[in-house]
């Protein structure tokens, strides 16, 4: 058994049952020694945000260092709306979150029976808020960097140093590695490692040639962007590393694939 295996899972968005199916398959297939990284976006748009957060909190307690959930842009918007590090709620952030992030009728405040950032801060269980607040903005292990949206071409260290500080930007903006979708098809050999992210539905469509083989993910020697499509197609994707075996979970089915590498977009 390869104890160095890492599994990265695309955006979950409240799709608890899909994630449970994925976990059950991974545990049967890989045993108990693999590490699990979830690539962010746990809140909004799905049917069971509260149940998913309960499951993630339980996984972190039981799997400890073998489970690393990282921050997504939806999660950060949620925390900023409630108030970063217990600061006063930001209704400016809540308005932006509501207007730009939610599928109709599926915003996280509604999952807790409220409508504003201030109301959510009062209604969300302390363990849910603490979990979201605590999420790291990236995870680095071996020659892999896991981050929600991607990295810019160029030196990695300054980008990771900025993310490690976990300091929100002013007003209603976010750091590019957490929210910028154009990074989904950027790849730089100078990184010297593989950058793994989710965030974007069918990222290969952003390539210059949308008909290139493989898909729906963007895959190069130095880059893997999982198609984050649970909200779009009802499929949840993961990738098993280092062998780059892709896993797709749908209703009642689990399939695995290997996809060819592509060229980066500059």
- Quick check: helix, strand or coil at residue 222? coil
Asked if residue 55 lies in contact with residue 15, where contact means CB atoms within 8 angstroms, the answer is no
Beta bridge partners of 238: 9, 247
| 201 occurs within a structural domain | yes
Confidence of residue 251 (pLDDT cuts 50, 70, 90): confident
| 130 occurs within a structural domain | yes
Confidence of residue 1 (pLDDT cuts 50, 70, 90): very low
| 264 occurs within a structural domain | no
Could you give the CA distance from residue 235 to residue 9 in angstroms, rounded to a whole number?
12
Q: Could you tell me which of 177, 175, 179 has the C-alpha nearest to residue 191? A: 177
Total structural domains within the chain: 1
| 263 occurs within a structural domain | no
- Quick check: helix, strand or coil at residue 173? coil
| 176 occurs within a structural domain | yes
Confidence of residue 99 (pLDDT cuts 50, 70, 90): very high
pLDDT above 80 (res 62) = yes
pLDDT above 90 (res 191) = yes
b/e string for 198-225 if b means 16 or more Cβ within 10 A?
Answer: bbbbbbbebbeeeeeeebbbbbbebbbb
Could you give the CA distance from residue 56 to residue 198 in angstroms, rounded to a whole number?
17
Please write down the long-range contacts of 231-236, taking CB distance under 8 Å and 24 or more positions apart.
231/13, 231/15, 231/45, 231/46, 231/103, 231/201, 232/201, 232/202, 234/18, 235/18, 236/9, 236/10, 236/12, 236/15, 236/18, 236/19, 236/21, 236/22
Digit-coded pLDDT (tens) for 128-141: 999 999 999 999 99
Q: To the nearest whole percent, how much of the chain has pLDDT over 70?
A: 95
Q: Residue 104: which residues within 8 A CB-CB, separation 6 or more?
A: none
| 105 occurs within a structural domain | yes
**CATH for 77:** 3.60.21.10
Confidence of residue 265 (pLDDT cuts 50, 70, 90): low
Could you give the CA distance from residue 51 to residue 61 in angstroms, rounded to a whole number?
16
pLDDT above 60 (res 213) = no
Could you give the CA distance from residue 82 to residue 92 in angstroms, rounded to a whole number?
11
Which range among 20-24, 67-71, 212-216, 260-264 shows the weakest confidence by mean pLDDT?
Answer: 212-216
Greater model confidence, 125 or 265? 125
- Quick check: helix, strand or coil at residue 13? coil
Residue 232: count of CB within 10 angstroms of its CB: 12
Domain limits for position 80: 6-257
Digit-coded pLDDT (tens) for 2-23: 468 999 999 999 999 999 999 9
Asked if residue 73 lies in contact with residue 41, where contact means CB atoms within 8 angstroms, the answer is yes
What is the pLDDT, as a whole number, of residue 3?
A: 62
Question: CA angle 234-238-240, nearest 5°?
Answer: 160
pLDDT above 60 (res 210) = no
- Quick check: helix, strand or coil at residue 116? coil
The per-residue pLDDT of the chain, averaged, comes to 93
Asked if residue 124 lies in contact with residue 172, where contact means CB atoms within 8 angstroms, the answer is no
| 266 occurs within a structural domain | no
Confidence of residue 208 (pLDDT cuts 50, 70, 90): low
Could you give the CA distance from residue 90 to residue 182 in angstroms, rounded to a whole number?
27
| 246 occurs within a structural domain | yes
Q: pTM of the prediction?
A: 0.95
Alpha helices in 108-253 (DSSP H): 108-111, 117-123, 126-134, 157-165, 176-179, 230-233
Digit-coded pLDDT (tens) for 14-58: 999 999 999 999 999 999 889 999 999 999 999 999 999 999 999
């Amino acid at each position: 058994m390869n104890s160095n295996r890492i599994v990265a899972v695309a955006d979950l968005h409240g799709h608890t049952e899909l994630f449970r199916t994925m976990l059950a398959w991974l545990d049967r297939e890989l045993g108990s020694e693999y590490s699990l990284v979830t690539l962010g976006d746990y809140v909004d748009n799905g049917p069971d945000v509260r149940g998913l957060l309960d499951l993630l909190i339980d996984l972190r307690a039981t799997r400890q260092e073998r489970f690393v959930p990282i921050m997504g842009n939806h999660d950060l918007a949620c925390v900023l709306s409630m108030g970063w590090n217990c600061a006063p709620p930001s209704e400016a952030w809540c308005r932006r979150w509501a207007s730009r992030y939610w599928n109709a009728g599926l915003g996280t405040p509604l999952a807790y029976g409220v409508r504003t950032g201030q109301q959510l801060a009062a209604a969300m269980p302390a363990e849910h808020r603490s979990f979201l607040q605590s999420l790291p903005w990236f995870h680095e292990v071996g020659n892999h960097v896991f981050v929600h949206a991607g990295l810019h071409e160029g030196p990695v260290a300054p980008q990771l140093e900025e993310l490690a500080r976990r300091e929100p930007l002013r007003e209603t903006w976010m750091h590019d590695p957490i929210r910028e979708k154009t990074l989904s098809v950027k790849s730089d050999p100078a990184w010297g490692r593989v950058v793994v992210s989710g965030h974007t539905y069918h990222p290969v469509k952003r390539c210059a040639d949308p008909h290139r083989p493989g898909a729906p993910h963007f895959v190069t020697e130095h880059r893997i962007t999982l198609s984050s499509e649970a909200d779009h197609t009802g499929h949840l994707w993961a990738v098993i590393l280092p062998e780059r075996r892709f896993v797709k979970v749908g209703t009642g089915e689990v399939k695995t694939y290997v996809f060819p590498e592509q060229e980066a977009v500059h």
